[in-house]
Amino acid sequence: MTVLRMRALLTLALLTALLAAACGSQHSSASSTRSVSLVLDFTPNAVHTGIYTAIERGYDHDEGIDLHVIVPSASTDAIRLLETGRVDFAILDIHDLAIARERGQSIAGILPIVERPLAAVIAAPKFRDPAQLQGQTVGVSGDPSDIAVLDSVVRGSGGNPAKVKTITIGFNAVADLLAGRVAAATAFWNDEGVTLERRQPGFHVFRVDDYGAPAYPELVVCASDAFLHAHPDLARALVRTLTRGYDAVIRNPRAGARALESEVQGLDPTLVAAELAKLEPAFTGPEHHFGELDVPLLRRWAAWEHRFGIVKRAPDIATTFDTRFAPR
């Protein structure tokens, strides 16, 4: 679900999508609305319900923008597209944002999409506690954050992460767990967790924030520092658009699901409903509003990010996030 987590070869090529949104970075004053492009983190699913609800209801046009959503391909480098000005905004995993800042890439988060980590360790039914994974083989995708999530979950349950064996399985957690090839796997509770629950109930989902990690926002809308400096009005318009979309979903999840399904062809309505039921509480933060950027919580996340080795230094919250755009 990140730049690093592009897990499927999508049939829609990025260049085709960019051509469809050709005006994404060209903001003409001659038009009544200004075109704005947003790259998703992954193929459209329940986590994006508020975005498609906003488009279906015309909230973007109400705010003076024409929102073009770009579905990424397997090779999409959203951070590079942001830096070069080929797209305006992108949804990034918070760990990718931290890594980008450490590499000197001038990207900042402006709006959380979900207010909780989506990362988890999913274990076979006989493993009722993460500490029981000591001496077992756990599958990881290969993303830098996977080992941090696994270590945090095992350590948070009183176990020793050094005693857990890992094997890189790519993004085959569901298949490998169902086949019994691994005792557990790092995955997302809103995605693989829901799929496994529907196919074979009994797997245990150990969410990372239940085992020592702070309740950090997993997915964040980001833009380049240069774009935010040049176009703060567009950033505010996008935030208002998405806030209205997600607020509508929170008020009426079923209507939000229908909006997503009407805008994106080929989705399984029962899967969307199941995923959305799990996700809906994660759309609001500590103050029970969508889009909260809690600076003290983000500082705890930064310390966790450094402690578990995702980055070499704790991210500077003041530069990693631009809080002036967050909903009031």
Give φ, ψ of 286 to 5 degrees: -60, -30
The reported pLDDT for the residue numbered 110 is: 98
H or E element that contains 186? strand 184-188
For CATH 3.40.190.10, list the domain ranges present in the chain: 14-116+217-325, 119-210
Residues 6 or more apart whose Cβ sits within 8 Å of residue 179: none
Query: What pLDDT does residue 31 have?
Result: 52
Give residue 15's pLDDT. Answer: 40
Give residue for tokens 């997503």.
260
The tens digit of pLDDT for each residue in 181-193 reads: 999 999 999 999 9
Angle (CA) 81-87-92 rounded to 5° is 65
Kindly indicate whether the domain formed by 14-116+217-325 is annotated with CATH number 3.40.190.10.
yes
pTM of the entire structure?
0.89
Class of CATH domain 119-210: alpha beta
Helices and strands (H, E) in the chain, number of each type? 14, 10
Low-confidence ranges of the chain (pLDDT < 50): 1-30
Alpha helices in 157-288 (DSSP H): 173-178, 192-199, 225-230, 232-251, 253-263, 269-279
Q: What is the pLDDT of residues 140-163, one digit of tens each?
A: 998 889 999 999 999 999 999 999
